[in-house]
Chains A and B, each alone.
Chain A
Amino acid sequence: MLSIRSLSAGVEDKPDILKRISLEVKAGEVHAIMGPNGSGKSTLAQVLAGHPGYIVTSGEVTYLGQDLLALPAEERARAGLFLAFQYPVEIPGVSNAYFLKAAVNERRSRQGQEELDAMEFLQLLDEKLRVVEIDRSFVNRPVNEGFSGGEKKRNEILQMAVLEPKLAILDETDSGLDIDALKTVAQGVNRLRRPDNAMILVTHYQRLLQYVEPDHVHVLFDGRIVKSGGKELAFELERKGYDWIREEVAAGEPVGR
């Protein structure tokens, strides 16, 4: 589904945040990308989603057979890519329902499907609200405005449920959540997991991974994937902390992929 080959990227002031990253994600898989602060996790998420502030200096990304990097952000989204933001943006004056309906219908019309009318959309919304266990009052509030940190993250999961992405990237969706909110978010994610879609969970801690079991875990360190493994790698990281990786990197031991 997603094939990242030797991707290097950064921002204008720091063009070398990501250094020759390679990663293969297949349909049905959940990948976790872990790493300490400043290792480039969020940069990878933003680059994949098409944030115009990031510059790709080399490498290729193929998504469902297309050159992902050649597409603007909105076309990536219409092709089924979804980023759950680490810091969801507040949009005053625009209700969640309007925003979601516009997004759903924009995509449907691009894919040659008939657009949903107000009744059909509300039906879809109700169904998704049940899946992610979110209160209906959410949808009439302005997008993220005045939401608590936990509400913002849950709203991201609601959007993901409604937009039904093929590839979802969750950027630190677990950060700043108390245990109940974390469970709700994890439950939502698990319910949206299907054999024909894939997810990339970007996270600092492994606590989300206690509830959402990944197929593969990668450790990102100083812009490189320095270690990949199964879910047990996450628990090892939790036990030993990131210093262990730091020492291995310093000793020149790890093998990047």
Chain B
Amino acid sequence: MTATVATAKDRYLAEFEAVERLGAFRSPSWLAPLRRRAIDRFAESGFPTTRDEDWRYTNLTALGATPFRPAAPWPAGVPAGVLERLALPGVEWPRLVFVDGRYSPKLSTARPLPGGGQVASLAEAMITEGDMIERHLGRHARWDGNVFAALNTAFVQDGGFVCLPPEARGETSIELVFLATTPGVVAQPRTLIVAGLHSRLTVVERYVGLTDEAYFTNAVTEIVAGPGAAVDHYMLQEQGAEAFHVATVHAALGRDSAFDTCGATFGGRLARTTLTLELAGEGARGAINGLYVVGGRQHVDHHVTVDHAVPRCASRQLFKGVLDGTARAVFNGRIIVRPDAQKTDATQTNKHLLLSDGVEVDSKPQLEIFADDVKCTHGAAEGQLAPEALFYLKSRGLGEETARALLTYGFAHEVLERVAVEPLQAYLDRLLMARLGSDRTTKEIA
């Protein structure tokens, strides 16, 4: 077991040296030392094992054993109708599409942003917005303790770049679509989002698999909310059945800013999300919502850290999981309240609905409170569908399958109702219903 993981490390290191030797990274000069530090960090330990506390319940042996290769330098084509199927009705936002991590101008619809902001692929922006990127890239998502963020940083190439200037007018909305089409490929998209003073931004990140064979996505998203900025962030994961999906999201919140994120996880054989909320400016407010609906032998892992570094910040966490088959869910919710962070108000809720006897849940709150004038609560619960509720629905003529789907929908809906973009909420409702597999409920709800 150790041997395969060590081999995996060597593979990525050899790949890095090869690319660098060829000069194929073609990136600005300031990036080279950052890459080197990141790959050195990765080289120290390679992929984590279950002996690492952060990976105790998530075994990466299969990920390490699979020799993934980088994608071709040009984006692959996408079957007709895919983007139409993914479209959100009535939504006409700028949309950047990436195929196996490569930006596809052909599939993207770039529109100038009304408030004078920038949206571009990261590779493009490295040329035009070099200073801005140098200031932020790799400065927020810390990779010293996160091997996958280190690996992504070492190989950073492309991804989304969104930047709103201070006092940008109106509300800006962007969609970033990451398609995985090629079996056996590793994609490492890197996204940087900077919302300037008082700006208002909505970003939807979507990770969609178009193949049922194994591939590996290792994504990192860094979000910086300036003073008084409001950022709504969504992360939809519809990866393929055999996909390995590792995502790192780091949001740094300035004074009086507001950040709302909602994640919806449906796909992947193994999906790990490491999400950090850094409340760095007084009066900042963050809400993290997450829904995961998994079955078969899927494994889904959320590691959330909410770091209250300064006074008068508030954070809300709601994570709900629906598990069927022999699926397994891991949730680790860490709240840090540092000595200065008086008047902190933090809550965390994690609930699981277990639809079969074969599922397993490991949910752990982790509160580290070093200030005395704080309000901090957490709660976790797991349960099955209530027999009385099932009988109630059946007594109205709904069949077993419909009744179960409707109750499960009701459980999950508490998260989806927090999706402020109406067509996105409707899309997620449909996705959820299709996943729950009831024709009747799909018809009535969608």
| A105-B440 contact given A89-B389, A142-B410, CB 8 Å threshold | yes
Contact residues of A between 94 and 109, Cβ < 8 Å to B: 94, 98-99, 101-103, 105-107
CA distance A103 to B445 in the complex (A): 12
Q: Does B57 contact A (CB under 8 A)?
A: no
Closest chain A residue to B400 by CB distance?
A74
Q: Does A214 lie at the interface of the complex (its beta carbon under 8 Å from any beta carbon of B)?
A: no
User: Could you tell me which residues of chain A, from 76 to 115, have a CB within 8 Å of some CB in chain B?
Assistant: 76-78, 82-83, 85, 88-94, 98-99, 101-103, 105-107, 110
State whether B440 touches A93 (Cβ < 8 A).
no
Q: Contact size class for A? A: 20 to 34
| Complex: chain B residue closest to A109, CB-CB | B440
- B41: shortest Cβ distance to chain A, in Å? 43
Contact of B406 among A49, A72, A77, A102 (CB under 8 A): A102
Check B387 for interface membership: any CB of A closer than 8 A: yes
Question: Residue among A99, A101, A110, A163 with the most chain B CB within 10 A?
Answer: A99
In the assembled complex, the CB of A157 is this many whole angstroms from the nearest CB of chain B, namely 14
Q: Which of A49, A89, A103 contacts B398 (CB 8 A)?
A: A103
Would you call A88 and B392 a contact (CB within 8 A)? yes
Does B274 sit within 8 A of A, measured CB to CB? no
Q: Does B431 contact A (CB under 8 A)?
A: no
List the B residue with the shortest CB-CB distance to A108. B397
Nearest CB of B to A73, in Å: 4
How far apart are A39's CB and chain B's nearest CB, in angstroms?
22
Q: Are A93 and B399 in contact, CB atoms less than 8 angstroms apart?
A: no
| Chain A minimum-CB-distance residue to B412 | A93
**Are A91 and B414 in touch, CB under 8 angstroms?**
no
Residue B444 is within 8 A (CB to CB) of chain A in the complex:
yes
A73-B391, A89-B389 given as contacts; is B398 within 8 A of A102 (CB)? Answer: yes
The number of inter-chain residue pairs (CB within 8 angstroms) is 87
Tell me the B292-312 residues at the A interface (CB within 8 Å).
Answer: none
Q: Which of A77, A92, A106 has most chain B Cβ within 10 Å?
A: A106
Assess the A105–B444 pair: CB atoms within 8 A: yes
A98 engages B445 (CB within 8 Å): yes
Query: Of A50-58, A128-136, A199-207, A241-249, which stretch is located at the interface?
Result: A50-58
Q: Is B396 an interface residue (CB 8 A)?
A: yes
Among the listed A49, A53, A94, which residue makes an inter-chain contact with B410, where contact means beta carbons less than 8 Å apart?
Answer: A94
Contact of A89 among B392, B399, B400, B413 (CB under 8 A): B392
Write the nearest CB–CB distance from A79 to chain B, whole angstroms: 9
The answer for the CA separation of A53 and B386 in the assembled complex, in Å, is 13
Asked if A107 and B414 make an inter-chain contact with CB atoms under 8 angstroms apart, the answer reads no
Residues of chain A within 8 A (CB-CB) of B413 are 92-94
Q: Are B397 and A51 in contact (CB under 8 A)?
A: no
Instruction: From B391, B396, B444, give the contact of A98 (CB < 8 A).
Output: B444
B414 touches A77 (CB 8 A): no
Is the Cβ of A73 less than 8 Å from the Cβ of B444? no
- A89:B411 contact, CB within 8 angstroms: no
Q: Could you tell me the distance between the alpha carbons of A51 and B409 in the complex, rounded to whole angstroms?
A: 23
Query: Any chain A CB within 8 A of the CB of B393?
Result: yes
Tell whether, in the assembled complex, residue B387 and residue A53 are in contact, meaning their CB atoms are under 8 Å apart.
Answer: yes
| Cβ contact of A93, chosen from B391, B393, B409, B441, cutoff 8 A | B409
Within 8 Å by CB of B397, from A53, A74, A90, A92, lies A74
Distance, CA A66 to CA B164, complexed state (A): 69
Decide: A91 near B407, CB < 8 A? Known: A102-B402, A102-B441.
yes
Chain A: minimal CB distance from B383 (Å): 13
Contact of B395 among A50, A91, A94 (CB under 8 A): A50
CB<8 Å pairs between A and B, sample of 15: A53-B387, A76-B395, A77-B394, A88-B392, A91-B406, A91-B410, A92-B410, A93-B413, A93-B414, A94-B410, A98-B445, A99-B396, A102-B444, A142-B410, A159-B396
